[in-house]
Structure formats: structure tokens, C-alpha cells
Structure 1
Amino acid sequence: MARIVTVGAGVIGLTTSLVLARKGHKVTIIAQHLPGDLSDFYASPYAGAFFVHLLPISNGEWIHELQDIASYYEILEIAEKDAASGVVERETEVYIPRMSLPVEEGYDGPWFKDLVRDYSVIPPAEYPEGSTKDDIAYAFKYTGFLINPVQYLHYLLGECLRSGVQVQRKTVETLTEAKTLFIEPTGSSKRGPTFGANPVLSKNGAVFGTADIVINCAGIAGSDLNTKDLGNKLPIKGQTLLVENNAEKIIVVEPMDQAHPTESLYILPRKGYGTLLTGTYLYGDNSLNFDPALTERIKARALRYAPELVNPSFMKNPPKLVEVKQFIGIRPGRKGGFNVSRDRIQGVDIIQNYGSGANGYQNSFGLAHKVSLLVDDVIFEKGGLTSKL
């Protein structure tokens, strides 16, 4: 088994560390931000955190999304087993205006339609009344999941700690530096691994050693640490509104307005927490200012597709939208999509795992399993495994 340092504690870093620890590897997480922190560039707490794809089988690019089905089933299993995880099952409806169809003709649904639970096409007669102006060309529904990101990140961190993962808040400048920050567990107690004495760091008792492998899960900073990929860094700004009002189900509407082609609509009912209204993708924008006009467009679209938000007969909703908070999050995008690959920098074995953009939660387990296979490859090549099975 390997000694591993994971850089980053967003959903990708935590999930990757958990999967590796459960396979028996010794893992240390090094991160500037941890669950509970609020930073516009620590995007995981601000995510919509649900499951959706559009590409049909006829578009071969869907193969790059296939690993997400692993996340779909693993996260649904978490919802079934642990009510404290922040994950719940939710019916998901997806509406695709003609301007947003992923193929020009013959669209017959997403690639996952035979893999998810309860998939069906929504007939036009059942479209929301407010959708009339959007020229909906296709719609479907299925059983999906919805995650409360703050609650789920704490759940993942707790699972990591229970699996023996060590955690250290620290900002690293290079991936080679991270190799020296592996924390040696020297024993165990009822509360988990304990640490040996260290004359230099006697205050916290941590013994730092050297990792075999460093995994770059640094999110928006992933390309900064992998400097040869810096030209592919792509911040994606999202603006989100949390309202007190309750919606019945997840509703996704792909871009519907030619004047604002990067604005989708996501209506995401948080169990007991109100509803998140979002769906904006401002590529290459890492500014932190709010756009009041965008907020009004989000509200208007949400009321067209989910009028129950202001219906007092539904869960005692108030008769108008009651704003709780607005958020700006900078998603960790990358030109060309996520980067999961092996590397070697100054003699250090590196595995890159960043660039998921807005898809981190639905990517998380699938990408973690890809990383696990790459870890096996590194160990095998170093003679640490007799078999890759």
C-alpha cells in the first residue's frame, strides 16, 4: 500500500482520499480550506450538487462522462444509508429548449437514460405552463439526488477521519513540497490514529514523513500547482440565490434566452433549508461582484417553472420570494475538461485530479476510482504489487 498526500479538501479531494483510504492506503490531506470554511474560491460549499447530463449516445463525447454513473449510485446509496450525510433522493425534471439541444436533429434523450432509476420522457402536455415561451424541444425525468454541500463535506471529512486519513491545514506552493508533508500515524486509540512525539513539532505531536505519491485535487488552484497546464485554467463564475421558499422537485432548464446563452435555470429544493436558484456559467470570469439584473432573471424564470414557490398552500410558502442569501462561487474549470493523469515532477510521482468545473459532485466517485487505478499502476511499476487485479 502507498503513502499518499492529497492536496485539497473540496469534494474531489475528500472523496479521492476516502476511496484510497478504504483500499488500505495511508492518506494525508493537506489543504488551505477545509469543510466549514467560506471562500469564493473554495467552491464546493456553494455547489448545486446534483446529477444531470444531456449528451446522447449518438454524440461520442458522452464516453467522457461515463464515470459519473459510479457517483450516481454511490451517492444514492449514501442517501439510503445515512440521513446525516446531507444527501436525499429527489425527482429531477430536465427541460431542453430548441436552442440548447446537444444535436441538431434526432435527439432521443441522454446517454444515461437506461442506467438511472425511473427514467421517462415528459410529454409536452405536462410541461409547466410557464415554459411556453422557451420552445422546449425535449424533456425527461428520473430519480436523482440532491446534496446539501456544507453538510455533505463534513460527512466526507468525518468518513475520512474514521478511515484513518490525517488532515493538516496548510498552503503549499508546489506539489514537490507536498511530498514532505505526509503525517505518520504511530498508533491507534478509540478515537482513531494517534501521533508520535516530534521534537520540532512537539506542540501538535505530528511526525512528518515522505509520501510515495502526491495527488493534486486543488480545484481552481490545480493548474497553478501543475504549472505546465496553467494555460488551461478556466474559472467559471456562478451566481446563486437561496430563498426561504420551498419547491417540489429539482427542475433543470437549459439555456432558453438567446440574449443570455450561458444562463440555465436550476431549481434545487434543499431539505429543510429552502430552495437554491442558480444555473449561471460565466466562463473566464473570476470577479466577485453580484449582478442585480441576473438575480431578477433567475427569480422570474424560477416562478415560471415552479409557481408553488409562492403558493401558501404548498408547504406554507410565503406569497413572494424571501431571499436568505446570495452567493458567488468560482468553479474550478479547465479547458478540455477534467485532468486525471499521471505525472512526474522533480522525481515525485504525481496524479492530477482537477478541472471538474461545475460537475465535481457528480464526478467525485468516478474520478476517485480512476485515481485509484493510477495509484495501483505506480505501485505496480515500483514492484509493490504482484498483481494489478
Structure 2
Amino acid sequence: MLLSKTPDYNVTVVAKHMPGDYDIEYASPWAGANYLPVGKQGTASELYERNTWPELARLATDLPEAGVHFQDTVVYRRAKDVGTATGDWFAELLREDAWFADVVPNFKILPKSALPPGIDGGTAFTSVCINTALYLPWLASQCLRHGVVLKRGIVAHVADAAGLHHSGQRADVVVNCTGLGARALGGVADAAVEPARGQIVLVRNEPGVMVSVSGTDDGEDEATYVMHRAAGNCSDRPPVFTSR
């Protein structure tokens, strides 16, 4: 995106692991990925999510090779999850006056007759699901298309990254995208970054809808979701365990 807007930049991406590697230290090749706007209205998160949707919709419409596709989405609310970690996380998704009702297509409140046992309410809309095994290599190809150099490297201190530019000169700007690695990265050491772990079950099934629930009976910081990945006709059915 940076180079598509300002092609004069000279960009190097440095990473220990690249798309296509599987002996890795990050979860993206296997993780479920979708668009669920959970940011509170009036915050920076809302702005990010408003701006993100049009681009995801463009990919789903125009670029099937990116592995992004539209999917009917349902989010269920259980009254007993109110005030729990996951219930609070899902709160914006389940508001009947949700701010994103005019962002995503087909937003509606589920009628009581459409609710399964144990569910007290819910919303439905059209979202997207992302097959990360396709999307990550596609992102790498877009970098190459715009002249980015992909380079393997390991950085112990954030200041060292500037010296890894492919030109041999020090970079003028360093963008830190280390995620959980920021906990141990010198010059950053962000102890506030915490891991979240999930168990992904990949099954041959076509659920026809992407479903999320505001909690489980196994702990207040757990959630379950089901999504149908583009290409391959398989579904992710993971209980997701979040650390907060």
C-alpha cells in the first residue's frame, strides 16, 4: 500500500520467516481470519475497521487469487457472558445499534425464532473469510510487484534493523511489525504484549455460514467460532483461548 501510493520509497522487508515456511514461530499460516468489527465507536479502532472493510471487499470482489471471499456471518449472544472477557470483546458486534451497520452489507438483528437453544440474541451480516495459506503468499507477491526486497534476517535490537536495508545504506525509517516478538526485541521490550493461543480443527465440511459465540462454559476468556475457508471446501472449527 505504501509503494502503491508513493512509489519513490525504497523498501526492504526483513523477516526470520517467510510465507511458505512451516517450521516457524508464528500462527498465521493456520489461523482462522475474518472481519469482525469489535472496536468501540468513536475510537481509533473504529476508524481502522471502517477503512479496512472497503479494501477487503475489493479483494473479495476483484482478486479471488488473494484467498478472500464473502461469507454470511452470524454472531450469537449469551446473556450469561455479559461482563466476561469474551463478552466484553464481543459487545460491539452484538449491539442492535452497531456502528458498522452501515459499513458491512446485509446487517440485521436476528429474530427470536432464529436463535438456537441457549442463545439470547444475535446479529447477522455479510463479512469476509481469509484463507491465510493463500493470502500470505499473495501479500508477498504484491510486495515483489511493487519493488520491495524480501530479505531474511534476525534482529536483536530494533535499532539494528536500519542497517539491514538491501541498498547497503542505513534505512531512514524502521517500521516495527514484530507482533509478539516485541516482548523480547531490544529497544522495545514491550511486556504488555501477551500471546493468545487457539486450537484449530480443520474439517471437510461446508457450514454455509461463519458463526461466532460470545462465550463458552469452559472459562470466561474463551470463545468458539466456525468459518469456511476459500478454496478447498474446508472449515475451521476452533475453540479459541485468549490471554488478556
With normalisation by structure 2, the TM-score equals 0.87
Q: Is the 8 Å Cα contact of residues 162 and 174 (structure 2) preserved in structure 1?
A: yes
User: In the alignment, which residue of structure 2 is the partner of 1:90?
Assistant: 71
1:120 positional shift = 0.8
Question: Structure 2 matches for 1:251-330, cutoff 5 A?
Answer: 251-257=211-217, 259-271=218-230, 272-283=232-243
1:263 positional shift = 2.2
User: In the alignment, which residue of structure 2 is the partner of 1:162?
Assistant: 145
Instruction: Identify the match of residue 15 of structure 2 among 19, 28, 31.
Output: 31
Q: Is the 8 Å Cα contact of residues 40 and 46 (structure 2) preserved in structure 1?
A: no
Q: Is the 8 Å Cα contact of residues 54 and 109 (structure 1) preserved in structure 2?
A: no
Instruction: Identify the match of residue 239 of structure 1 among 199, 203, 206.
Output: 199
User: In the alignment, which residue of structure 1 is the partner of 2:185?
Assistant: 225
Cα-to-partner distance string for 1:318-370 (whole Å, 9 max, x where unaligned): xxxxxxxxxxxxxxxxxxxxxxxxxxxxxxxxxxxxxxxxxxxxxxxxxxxxx
CA distance in 2: counterparts of 1:71 and 1:121, whole angstroms = 23
Cα pair distance change 1:221/1:268, threshold 3 Å: same
Cα pair distance change 1:173/1:261, threshold 3 Å: same
With normalisation by structure 1, the TM-score equals 0.56
Instruction: Identify the match of residue 51 of structure 2 among 57, 63, 70.
Output: 70
CA distance in 2: counterparts of 1:109 and 1:95, whole angstroms = 15
CA distance in 2: counterparts of 1:68 and 1:87, whole angstroms = 16
Give 4+ residue runs of structure 1 displaced > 4 Å after superposition.
54-57, 226-229
CA distance in 2: counterparts of 1:33 and 1:161, whole angstroms = 16
User: In the alignment, which residue of structure 1 is the partner of 2:96?
Assistant: 108
CA distance in 1: counterparts of 2:120 and 2:44, whole angstroms = 24
User: In the alignment, which residue of structure 2 is the partner of 1:50?
Assistant: 34
Give the partner amino acid of 1:21.
L
Q: Per the alignment, in what secondary structure is the counterpart of residue 175 of structure 2?
A: strand
Q: Per the alignment, in what secondary structure is the counterpart of residue 191 of structure 2?
A: helix
User: In the alignment, which residue of structure 1 is the partner of 2:61?
Assistant: 80
Mark the runs of 5 or more structure 1 residues left unpaired by the alignment: 1-18, 185-207, 285-389
Answer 1 or 2: which has greater strand percent: 1
Instruction: Identify the match of residue 119 of structure 1 among 101, 104, 107.
Output: 107
CA distance in 1: counterparts of 2:106 and 2:95, whole angstroms = 19
Identical pairs, percent = 28
Give the partner amino acid of 1:146.
C
* Rg (Cα) greater in structure: 1
User: In the alignment, which residue of structure 1 is the partner of 2:131?
Assistant: 148
Cα pair distance change 1:40/1:240, threshold 3 Å: farther
User: In the alignment, which residue of structure 1 is the partner of 2:159?
Assistant: 176
Q: Is the 8 Å Cα contact of residues 204 and 233 (structure 2) preserved in structure 1?
A: yes
User: In the alignment, which residue of structure 2 is the partner of 1:212?
Assistant: 172
CA distance in 1: counterparts of 2:39 and 2:2, whole angstroms = 30
Mark the runs of 5 or more structure 2 residues left unpaired by the alignment: 83-87
Answer 1 or 2: which has greater helix percent: 1
Cα pair distance change 1:65/1:41, threshold 3 Å: farther
Q: Is the 8 Å Cα contact of residues 156 and 186 (structure 2) preserved in structure 1?
A: no
Q: Is the 8 Å Cα contact of residues 56 and 108 (structure 1) preserved in structure 2?
A: no
Q: Is the 8 Å Cα contact of residues 39 and 46 (structure 2) preserved in structure 1?
A: no
1:41 positional shift = 2.8
1:44 positional shift = 1.6
How many residues were matched structurally? 232
